[in-house]
Chains A and B, each alone.
Chain A
Amino acid sequence: MSNVLYDEPGPKARRRAAIGTVVAAAILLGFTGVAVWRLADRGQFDAELWSPLINPSDENFVLVWRLLAQGLQATLTAAVLAISLSLVIGTLLGVSRLMLGKVGRIPVVAVIELFRGLPVIISIFYVYILVRSTGIDISFLPGSDGLWFLVIGLTFYNSVIIAEIVRAGVNSLPRGQSEAALAIGMTRWKSMKNVELPQAFRTMLPALISQLVVVLKDTSLVAVLGLYTELLRRGNLISLNLDNPIQVLFVVGLIFILINYGLSKLAEFVERRLSTRGQSSTVLVKTGDAVA
């Protein structure tokens, strides 16, 4: 292991590290122990609070898990819709920012900067208020209104992020690519569509998958507003009936962590598979990550 901060440890340093490990582990376990003991003291480990979630013979087990599955399905529906819409709109925004002239792109840049600075939870709520007070009819869209408040709100924010990812992806290409395309007589639009974008999407793929993690997490924002019953809101409703918020939240959190961890690993895997060329994709994934 090469590390900038310290050299390869010798026997003395290894002994010190071993002592440090024991001490640090003892302190960490001590904190955990106190927390667990206090939780147990309050009866948070009682079987009746956990059994609807972990005991298949409990009368509520099937019902609770069916509801959680519905919540998860609602979360995934919203996330997939939002990321697909964002991909289309974001690509259009990104390409127009690249292809319009210095003056022509001002409105595009303004839109991007505006929605990038707006908190997602505000844009979701804004869509809801806008629809409600202007009386716009969105019932022609399939699914509940709540779903579309969430999807449109998420799309506002994420299409802007994807526009920036597209721009970075196209800009990371060697200039020779578009020069060659123009030299063989392609128009600028054809060069973008047939030469630059396909390559940019390749480097963007890991960043797009990481962005899906962000969107999945952000779907749960709507639970705070209570407009749509996704996984977290479903969990809160379940715990209202069973009176075990900690236990249900533990399970809901675990589901989110497992799915998102899987997606992050997938993004890393795709990135390794694609990283035959330069490091541009690594930079992109980090940008996607940071926007969480």
Chain B
Amino acid sequence: MDAVFDNMDLFWSGFLRSLGICLWGMVGSLVLGTFIAACRVSPIPSLRWFGTSWVTLIRNCPLTVVLFFMAFGLPEIGINQSYYVFGVAALVIYTSAFVCEAIRSGINSVSAGQAEAARSIGLTFGQSLSQVVMPQAFRSIVPPLGSVIIAMFKNSAVVGAFGVGRDLWSVYKNLTSAQGYDGLPVITGVAVGYLCITLPAAAILAYTERKVAIAR
């Protein structure tokens, strides 16, 4: 285990970098996923088609394929960025499809009568949305959305292995191939690093779920 304890600073900076990938991925996929969900429930048919095909195509395609496709494809259409940007972007695009479905199914779980009742007592569209529909939808969105985000934290390891640099995976590569440490303790350290991100996230999710749970 010396390999881990002697290089704690390296692990710490790798951990922070991986955490950064997770946070950028979370913000990005929430924004993009909400936008795609809005497309899928919008009254404009072409936006609905766009949303549906986005979700169908991306949900059934492995993250790795999305990742490779972007890394090879985007430079060809004139978008040149570092692997870090491509990696986070692929993570955001992949996760947005799942975020979209979590939000959409949450909205659909609210019965239409709720909105109708709100409108009939004279609330405007905005009021009925923000005070009647969304608060109810939010409660059923939290559990699946939380799982999606935690799944994304785990998928950030794929982006790391793809070679974004200075994250937990590159700590592994640095210590084993450049400094000749034995692989087993180093990969154990890397695994613990990822667990330090996912387990607290799962605990926060479980707590939030209990808070917003609907009493049945």
Interface residues of A (CB under 8 A from B): 2-7, 9, 13, 17, 20-22, 24-25, 28, 34-35, 38-39, 42, 44, 113-114, 116-123, 125-126, 129-130, 132-134, 213, 216-218, 220-221, 223-225, 232, 236, 245-246, 249-250, 252-253, 256-257, 260-261, 264, 286-287, 289-292
Contacts and interface: CB of A to CB of B under 8 A. Distances in A.
Nearest to B114: A4
A4 B111 contact: yes
Nearest to A29: B46
Nearest to B136: A4
A60 to B, nearest CB: 20
A125 B147 contact: no
Nearest to A44: B76
A251 to B, nearest CB: 11
30 contacts: A3-B112, A4-B108, A4-B112, A4-B114, A13-B43, A17-B44, A17-B45, A20-B46, A21-B46, A21-B47, A24-B44, A24-B47, A114-B195, A119-B157, A126-B187, A126-B191, A134-B184, A217-B61, A220-B65, A221-B64, A232-B68, A246-B69, A250-B69, A260-B60, A264-B60, A287-B144, A289-B101, A291-B147, A291-B151, A292-B59
Nearest to B176: A129
Q: How large is the interface on B (under 10, 10 to 19, 20 to 34, 35 or more residues)?
A: 35 or more
B110 interface: yes
Contact of A125 (B56, B119, B187): B187
Contact of A9 (B43, B111, B112): B43
Given A117-B202, A120-B154, A245 B44 contact: no
B77 A35 contact: yes
B199 A117 contact: yes
- 8 shortest interchain CB distances as A-B pairs: A119-B157, A260-B60, A290-B147, A117-B198, A20-B44, A217-B62, A119-B154, A38-B77
Given A122-B187, A130-B184, 18 more contacts: A4-B108, A6-B43, A24-B44, A38-B77, A39-B73, A42-B76, A117-B199, A118-B194, A119-B156, A119-B157, A126-B188, A221-B158, A232-B68, A253-B66, A256-B65, A257-B61, A264-B60, A290-B144
Contact of A39 (B77, B157, B162): B77
B115 interface: yes
B65 A292 contact: no
Contacts of A39: 73, 76-77
**What does DSSP make chain A's interface, helix, strand, loop or mixed?**
helix
Interface in B134-175: 144, 147-148, 151, 154-158, 161-162
Nearest to B97: A292
B151 A122 contact: no
Given A121-B157, A213-B60, A256-B61, A249 B72 contact: yes
B102 interface: yes
Interface of B: 41, 43-47, 50, 56-57, 59-66, 68-69, 72-73, 76-78, 98, 101-102, 105, 107-108, 110-112, 114-115, 119, 125, 129, 133, 144, 147-148, 151, 154-158, 161-162, 182-184, 187-188, 190-191, 194-195, 198-199, 202
